[in-house]
């Protein structure tokens, strides 16, 4: 199957940091279809040879195991081409059309790795220049808007020129091997389904922690914040995977229909719930990785008086028979004590204790997403005899490390998703009604914060966030992995 993959923003950060390494890995693994071209688009005046040399130099920053040898890159470079374009100029789309017209590829993928405010304009110009053909597929990177209205505006503009089946709204978390194993654990095994409900689960906790600050993205992040950047998309998609009902089959719309039901079942926010169950924070100067680092407001590109949150903790509930009364916790932030993402499923305690056991729930499932990828099942087992009290139970764990089991050369998120786009598989991409439901749920939080003069709570860089978040969730046994 021949394909042309057009990268709008082909010289940008996302292209060389994520997309090109992913495409090279697919090329190295032999999974990238033959007969393909990768066409970078940008405002730079580059020849094909200059573009190839630019991408070659960028691979010096890639992990050593994923770095091509000179011979490998020479073969991969034969796929790379460049078209100079100003995306605001209609006549430049004719230049792209001429390049695509040099052959008639089976599939043309337009990947918009650009600023979101260009999405609508690019789509309109693709239609005006006749490049919105039946074999065209469009990939949209997040953020898709900054609120419900802007999200609808972008989606409406895209749907005016392309069918929904041609639109691939990417959330790279859905391509992570760990998230794939989350679906496999739930729907490929009968072990957990009987207890995957309110009668047996006390609470579920989703943690996405980053140890880095905003780096060079201060100006972008200051207009976005943790709620838009992480909760509205990544965290809610994980929540859907955990809470959705089993789909009737593995087809894209069957899966996405069930995720949509979860989003529509999230209990809506009231002022009282917002005040009690949502915490926002902003990192101050502190020690991270043994080095002193500045606070968020001292980062380049950030407003010195910024009220943007770099940390969010919240308590959500789902109004359904399966999950009524079970709290779902989401916590995410930057400049925290470690880079770590995991899901903690706390099961209820045994209804009647006949053994001496430590207090608290020791039956839990930990789903590690990064940097480790695997499952830990925590149980109680007989550890020692006590002459006075009889058997004493002690915590033990069963540990399954997927990287060790399946090897380190696993398909990365962007590699998987790019191959799915080329093949036309929509399962791991977000439908427009999912996005709208997610925005509808988070928008009251944004409005509440806009009217709240207290602002985000400070926390020291290198810590686990504002202390207030611990008080909010202490009664349900919230803990980070190293505390569990």
Q: How many CB atoms neighbour CB 199 within 10 A?
A: 10
Residue 277 pLDDT greater than 90, yes or no: yes
CA-wise closest residue to 53 among 32, 80, 21: 80
The catalytic residue positions are 234
Residue 382 pLDDT greater than 90, yes or no: no
Residue 176 pLDDT greater than 80, yes or no: yes
Q: Which residues contact 388 (CB under 8 A, 6 or more apart)?
A: none
The whole model's pTM is what?
0.92
Q: What is the mean pLDDT of the chain?
A: 90
Give the pLDDT of residue 411. Answer: 83
Q: Which sign does the torsion angle of CA 362, 184, 205, 367 carry?
A: positive
Give the pLDDT of residue 351. Answer: 84
Torsion-angle region of 292 (φ positive above 0: left; ψ -120 to 50: alpha; else: beta)? beta
Residue 471 pLDDT greater than 70, yes or no: no
Compute the average pLDDT of residues 119-134: 94
Compute the average pLDDT of residues 221-237: 96
Report whether 51 contacts 81 (CB < 8 A): yes
Report whether 184 contacts 268 (CB < 8 A): no
Compute the average pLDDT of residues 360-384: 85
Give the pLDDT of residue 474. Answer: 43
Give the pLDDT of residue 404. Answer: 80
Residue 408 pLDDT greater than 60, yes or no: no
Report whether 293 contacts 335 (CB < 8 A): yes
Give the pLDDT of residue 356. Answer: 74
Helix/strand/coil for 344: strand
Q: pLDDT tens across 425-434, in order?
A: 999 999 999 9
Compute the average pLDDT of residues 25-29: 94
Residue 394 pLDDT greater than 90, yes or no: no
Give the pLDDT of residue 412. Answer: 87
CA-wise closest residue to 180 among 231, 247, 238: 238
Report whether 366 contacts 378 (CB < 8 A): yes
Compute the average pLDDT of residues 373-389: 77
Rounded Cα distance between 474 and 472, Å, is 6
Report whether 471 contacts 315 (CB < 8 A): no
Give the pLDDT of residue 475. Answer: 43
């Amino acid at each position: 199957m021949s394909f042309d993959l057009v990268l709008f923003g082909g010289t940008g950060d996302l292209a060389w940091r994520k997309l090109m390494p992913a495409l090279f890995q697919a090329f190295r693994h032999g999974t990238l279809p033959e007969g393909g071209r990768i066409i970078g688009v940008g405002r730079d005046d580059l020849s094909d040879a200059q573009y190839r040399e630019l991408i070659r130099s960028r691979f010096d920053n890639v992990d050593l195991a994923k770095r091509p040898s000179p011979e490998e890159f020479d073969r991969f470079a034969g796929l790379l081409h460049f078209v100079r374009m100003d995306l605001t100029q209609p006549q430049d789309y004719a230049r792209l059309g001429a390049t695509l017209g040099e052959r008639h590829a089976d599939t043309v993928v337009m990947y918009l790795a650009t600023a979101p405010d260009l999405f609508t304009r690019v789509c309109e110009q693709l239609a005006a220049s006749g490049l919105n053909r039946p074999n065209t597929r469009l990939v949209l990177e997040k953020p898709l808007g900054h609120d419900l209205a802007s999200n609808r505006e972008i989606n409406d503009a895209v749907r005016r020129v392309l069918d929904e089946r041609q639109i691939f709204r990417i959330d790279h978390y859905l391509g992570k091997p760990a998230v794939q194993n989350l679906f496999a654990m739930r729907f490929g095994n009968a072990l957990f389904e009987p207890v995957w409900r309110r009668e047996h689960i006390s609470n579920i906790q989703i943690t996405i922690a980053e140890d880095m600050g905003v780096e060079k993205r201060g100006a972008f992040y200051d207009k976005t914040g943790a709620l838009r950047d992480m909760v509205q998309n990544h965290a809610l998609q994980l929540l859907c995977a955990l809470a959705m009902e089993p789909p009737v089959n593995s087809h894209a719309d069957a899966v996405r229909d069930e995720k949509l039901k979860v989003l529509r079942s999230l209990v809506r926010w009231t002022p009282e719930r917002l005040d009690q169950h949502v915490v926002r924070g902003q990192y101050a100067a502190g020690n991270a990785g043994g080095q002193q680092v500045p606070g968020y407001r001292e980062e380049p590109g950030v407003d010195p008086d910024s009220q943007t949150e770099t940390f969010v903790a919240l308590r959500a509930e789902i109004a359904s028979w399966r999950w009524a009364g079970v709290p779902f916790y989401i916590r995410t932030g930057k400049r925290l004590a470690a880079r770590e993402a995991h899901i903690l499923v706390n099961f209820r305690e045994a209804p009647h204790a006949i053994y001496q056991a430590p207090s608290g729930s020791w039956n839990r499932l930990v789903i590690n997403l990064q940097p480790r990828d695997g499952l830990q099942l925590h149980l109680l087992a007989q550890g020692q005899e006590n002459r006075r009290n009889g058997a004493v139970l002690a915590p033990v764990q069963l540990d399954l490390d997927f990287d060790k089991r399946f090897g380190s050369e696993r398909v990365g998120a962007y590699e998987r998703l790019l191959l799915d786009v080329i093949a036309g598989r929509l399962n791991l991409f977000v439908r427009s009604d999912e996005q709208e439901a997610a925005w509808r749920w988070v928008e009251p939080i944004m409005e509440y914060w806009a009217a709240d003069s207290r602002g985000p709570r400070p926390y020291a860089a290198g810590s686990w966030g504002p202390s207030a978040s611990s008080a909010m969730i202490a009664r349900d046994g919230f803990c980070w992995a190293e505390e569990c």
